[in-house]
Copies of this chain bind each other. A is one copy, B any other.
Amino acid sequence: MSPQEESWDTVGIFVFPGFEPLDAYGPMELFGSMIREGLRKVKRIVFVAETAGPVPSCFGPSTVAEYGLDDCPPLDVLVISGGIGTRILMHNTRVVDWLRSQILDHDVRHVLSVCTGAALLAATGLLDGKPATTNKELFTYIRQLFPAVQWQGTARWISQGKVVTASGVTAGMDAALSIIEGTFGAEVAERVARDVEYIGDWRQASNDPFAHHSSSDDGEGAG
């Protein structure tokens, strides 16, 4: 299928109590922009949680997840937000098993973790031995939890097959645009960026002004 013909039926944004809002809504806006009539590259965006219903973010306000894991429709793209809630969720075998099944599902084309969403992916074991990145202020914390992953300290995002791991919060927007450009071409990515007047850098995954160099974290950064 040519980039002109390709489209995605459903983009799913996975959230949980204590999710970091922009981890979810940055990529959501960029993928959502492709719903507009000028592009029509995406049919719908849905929020998914362990259980459908209102899901409180780390700052309090809730987003309504239309779907739970049991009734989640087939996804073309899955975005996994991070946030303080990952500390608990990475031990939830039901959620981790579901995430693993999404990565292994041949119909799922792209899985994008943002910030500490990478910890949820790492908990599946499917990142073991592979390069990945995450929030730079919590880098050492995450690396110690999942030492079998080849964590990269200088990376805005890392593509590894269908899995893309983005660094902290707003890195998810650049990573989302890189997925859009890789799938639909530079013109569509430019149009999306212009649509939301986004000044970012989605062509250089290694352009990381927040590269992790210190050997310890203060544990206070965005989740």
Query: Which residues of A are in contact with B by a Cβ distance under 8 Å?
Result: 13, 20-22, 25-26, 28-29, 32-33, 35-38, 44-47, 54, 58-64, 66, 135-137, 167-171, 194-201, 209-210, 218, 220-222
Asked whether A210 lies within 8 Å of B197 as measured between CB atoms, the reply is yes
If A22-B26, A35-B59 touch, whether A170 touches B194 (CB-CB below 8 Å) is no
Query: Considering the chains assembled together, what is the distance between the CA atoms of A66 and B63 in angstroms?
Result: 11
| Chain B positions within 8 Å of A167 at CB level | 197
B195 touches A137 (CB 8 A): yes
The binding surface of chain A is classed by DSSP as: loop
Q: How far is the CA of A159 from the CA of B12 in the complex (A)?
A: 37
- 30 residue pairs bridging A and B, Cβ less than 8 Å apart: A22-B196, A25-B26, A26-B26, A28-B59, A33-B222, A35-B59, A36-B220, A37-B220, A38-B220, A44-B60, A45-B59, A46-B60, A46-B61, A47-B61, A54-B54, A62-B63, A63-B63, A64-B64, A136-B197, A137-B194, A168-B196, A169-B195, A169-B196, A169-B197, A170-B198, A170-B199, A194-B210, A197-B209, A199-B200, A199-B209
